[in-house]
Amino acid sequence: MTLNRKTITNALLIVLTALIFLWIGLKTDWTATWRAVLSADLQWVAASVVVMIFGHWLRGYRWNMLTAPAGFPLNAKRSFYAVMSGYLINVATSRGGEVVRCAMTAKTEKAPVDLLIGTVVTERLVDMLMLLLVCITGLLVEFEHIYGFFDSYILKPVSSFVTLQNTLILLTLAITLILFLRFRKKSASEKSPGKIATLLSGFSKGLKTIFTLQHPGLFFLYSSGIWACYMVSGYFLLQSLPVTSHMEFGSAISLLIFSAVGIAIPLPAGAGVWGAISFGLQAVYALNAKDAETFGIFNLAYQNLFSILVGGICYLLMMIEMRKLKTA
């Protein structure tokens, strides 16, 4: 096997993930954690699963609102299967699920992969805006708790870093990077103008679908519904464990922010989420380390089991759909 940058990067991520899970294992009081998990209220857990499934179904349906204006409407059932199959792949590869999701949908819906990838990038940009709204809402609802976290761990470090010297350095690096990418793009176009131009055109078309939405208000409503489902599901999960059942709904907004910070760390199986949630619960809500780590592990196990079980079922159903379409 030829060693390239991608192979080395993936290997390093796997090693780093293994070390993090080893550190988690050595640091955790497993007796207390197991006792807390056994005492979990399964009714709250089941409710969390139902809400989470509905949120992912909305994500699949929202995806269709981006592809339809480009002339490729998606089957609602198969788009949901593809979304969940992507989450299954993400357990092992961190970000590979988005590519698999587009590849599977390209086969079933006869849509160009480059266009689908462009729409997924658009989705992620919209999700970043929704996360910004969640952060603002969190500051308003949980101001006394979360402002200290933002001030100590985000605002002060950022303000201390943003000096005139650092700004000039970043601008220089950004201009250099833009010129380098433009040069490489021009060079690649000269070598294979047809293929590169086609790929860029499809990708660009996928990105622009946000400006050709047939129902922009409905798109925003679905986007809000997705994140509302994530918050409600997180709240139900908090209520399921005795160590966090005292927390109110506002804390679910903070939990969503902690999870988003952890997901931004490109580690397989959501290893970054455990640390972000555990740290956030301790820093913002003064939860003792043992209880915060217990919920962090419980949340991590829940998310991975959800992706493996529900994603695995949807992957099999997608394979059946693909076989039916191929036969037809």
- Residue 90's SS3 state is helix
Going by C-beta distance under 8 Å and a sequence separation of 6 or more, which residues neighbour residue 160? none
Cβ–Cβ under 8 Å, residues 307 and 87 = yes
Q: How far apart are CA 119 and CA 309, in angstroms?
A: 26
Give the per-residue pLDDT at 1: 47
Which of 245, 223, 271 lies closest to 58, judged by CA?
223
- Measured from the Cβ of residue 287, the count of other Cβ atoms closer than 10 Å reads 21
Cβ–Cβ under 8 Å, residues 246 and 69 = no
**Mean pLDDT per segment of 10 residues, for the chain of length 328 residues?**
60 64 61 72 95 96 91 92 92 78 91 88 88 81 68 62 64 71 58 56 70 89 94 94 90 85 63 76 83 85 89 94 86
Q: How far apart are CA 160 and CA 168, in angstroms?
A: 15
Give the per-residue pLDDT at 55: 96
- Residue 267's SS3 state is coil
Query: Residue 93 burial (CB < 10 Å; 0-12/13-18/19+)?
Result: middle
Give the per-residue pLDDT at 84: 95
Q: Where are the domains of the chain?
A: 29-327
Q: How far apart are CA 157 and CA 143, in angstroms?
A: 19
Give the per-residue pLDDT at 157: 61
Which residue has tokens 């059942």?
245
- Measured from the Cβ of residue 3, the count of other Cβ atoms closer than 10 Å reads 8
Q: How far apart are CA 303 and CA 269, in angstroms?
A: 9
- Residue 242's SS3 state is coil
- Measured from the Cβ of residue 227, the count of other Cβ atoms closer than 10 Å reads 20
Going by C-beta distance under 8 Å and a sequence separation of 6 or more, which residues neighbour residue 303? 270, 273
Q: How far apart are CA 221 and CA 89, in angstroms?
A: 28
